[in-house]
């Protein structure tokens, strides 16, 4: 495979660059050897002003992504290691891993687990189809041609997957479903207002409200910060984890989180209420009544108790999103099994996204069926589900999984 050869070449190139930057040879995949170079030889931790670098369980300096992100402006080596790890993961996990699952066949058939994830999400193994990166990787290739230095090549593991002849991939993705559920569950008026306009860019609006500026003044960095902060709140990520994601120090990350929770006060109330109810009952419920018991919610050990509190909030939000996605799968399957004209089939479930293989002639009709079915789940009377915000589904299609583009579904088709 051309992509495999390119990745191998790039890894060798980065390995040489790392050795040159470090002034010695070492194994890039060894945390111990990397720690020695970064902190004993280069002593980068001593140059970190106002930055609290993460530590390992054994209280050693960490070589995690969060640590390297904080060090990358101090020396070339951390940035080289980050790029090497990204390419190494794509090669070993996605390219080599997928090829190993195709030794005797020309197709992929993952093993799907319904109950292995505590939030209720479906998971996949051998290979983990869900972990394939959504964004392509840009790799620079050195060209040994006079007048040309290098060439930028795109490697996309998802591009390996193609539908059969005469068929097309169709993806249907719940947009910001966990944020929408957070708005519903918290009833925060400012957060609910974000979803009143169906065409609005939700995270730009959030950044606008949070920073107190006009939406036109929101930068792409502001938008990304707002997105990361929202999900750090939902997932219970601490300020240290958020600081690594945003590339800021821990104090700034804490201020960002506090500022967000001050703007959307009812979110904090929802979090506290969920934790209190779990402490009293010993369990939490998703919007469709699925229960998760958390036996450590009243643990005397602060660290254990805090983990249970994060799990309680996370389950209510992410578990409810899992409920919606499974209900969508069931309803669309029932429609397909009773239809005399539609013959699409479900290829994969990727958390909030469903991937189908559809006959070319049925693409528009099936896209409309999927979109309307999924968006209608904002109200499920028999289960008492009546969301305060609409659900929005983005539909895209393509002749490979790596070349999907948005598919516009005409309003009149939806209304048929």
Q: For strand 393-398 and strand 405-406, is the pairing parallel, antiparallel, or unpaired?
A: antiparallel
394/406 Cα distance (integer angstroms): 7
Residue 67: other Cβ atoms inside 10 A: 24
Q: Hey, what are 412's tokens?
A: 């009149």
| First and final C-alpha spacing in the chain | 46
Tokens of 174: 């719940």
The predicted structure's pLDDT at residue 19? 94
Q: Is the dihedral of CA 355, 361, 362, 368 positive or negative?
A: positive
All structural domains of the chain: 2-160 (1.20.1060.10), 167-176+323-414 (3.30.70.370), 178-319 (1.10.150.20)
For the chain (416 residues), the mean pLDDT of every run of 10, in chain order, is: 71 90 92 92 81 74 84 89 86 73 72 85 82 71 54 72 93 92 93 79 81 82 82 75 71 80 88 95 94 95 92 94 95 94 91 94 94 95 91 94 84 52
Please give the pLDDT value at position 3.
Answer: 62
As given in the structure block, the two tokens for residue 361 are 């002639």
190 CB-side CA count, 13 A: 16
pLDDT at 415: 45
């Amino acid at each position: 495979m051309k992509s495999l050869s390119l990745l191998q070449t790039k890894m060798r190139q980065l390995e040489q660059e790392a050795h040159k930057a470090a002034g010695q040879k070492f194994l890039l995949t060894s945390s111990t050897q990397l720690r020695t170079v970064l902190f004993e030889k280069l002593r980068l931790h001593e140059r970190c002003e106002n930055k609290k670098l993460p530590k390992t369980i054994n209280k050693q300096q960490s070589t995690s992504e969060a640590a390297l992100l904080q060090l990358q402006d101090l020396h070339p080596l951390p940035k080289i290691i980050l790029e090497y790890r990204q390419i190494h993961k794509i090669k070993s996990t996605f390219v080599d891993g997928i090829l190993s699952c195709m030794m005797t066949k020309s197709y992929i058939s993952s093993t799907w687990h319904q109950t292995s994830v505590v939030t209720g999400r479906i998971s996949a193994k051998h290979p983990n189809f869900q972990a394939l990166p959504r964004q392509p990787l840009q790799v620079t290739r050195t060209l040994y041609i006079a007048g040309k230095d290098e060439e930028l090549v795109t490697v996309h593991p998802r591009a390996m997957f193609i539908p059969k002849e005469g068929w097309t991939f169709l993806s249907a993705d719940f947009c910001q479903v966990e944020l929408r559920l957070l708005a519903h569950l918290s009833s925060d008026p400012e957060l609910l207002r974000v979803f009143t306009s169906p065409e609005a860019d939700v995270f730009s609006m959030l950044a606008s409200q949070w920073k107190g500026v006009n939406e036109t003044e929101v930068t792409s960095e502001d938008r990304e910060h707002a997105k990361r902060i929202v999900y750090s709140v939902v997932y219970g990520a601490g300020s240290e984890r958020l600081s690594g994601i945003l590339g800021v120090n821990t104090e700034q990350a804490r201020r960002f989180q506090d500022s967000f929770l001050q703007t959307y006060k009812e979110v904090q109330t929802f979090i506290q209420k969920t934790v209190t109810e779990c402490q009293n009952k010993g369990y939490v419920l998703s919007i469709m009544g699925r229960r998760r018991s958390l036996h450590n919610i009243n643990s005397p050990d602060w660290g254990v108790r805090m983990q249970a509190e994060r799990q309680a909030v996370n389950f209510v939000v992410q578990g409810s999103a899992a409920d919606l996605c499974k209900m969508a799968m069931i309803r669309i399957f029932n429609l397909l099994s009773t239809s005399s004209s539609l013959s699409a089939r479900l290829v994969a479930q990727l958390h909030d996204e469903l991937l189908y293989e559809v006959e070319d002639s049925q693409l528009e009709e099936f896209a409309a069926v999927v979109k309307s079915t999924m968006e209608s789940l904002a109200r499920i009377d028999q289960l008492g589900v009546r969301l305060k915000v609409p659900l929005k589904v983005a539909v895209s299609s393509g002749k490979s999984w790596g070349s999907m583009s948005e598919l516009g579904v005409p309003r009149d088709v939806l209304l048929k």
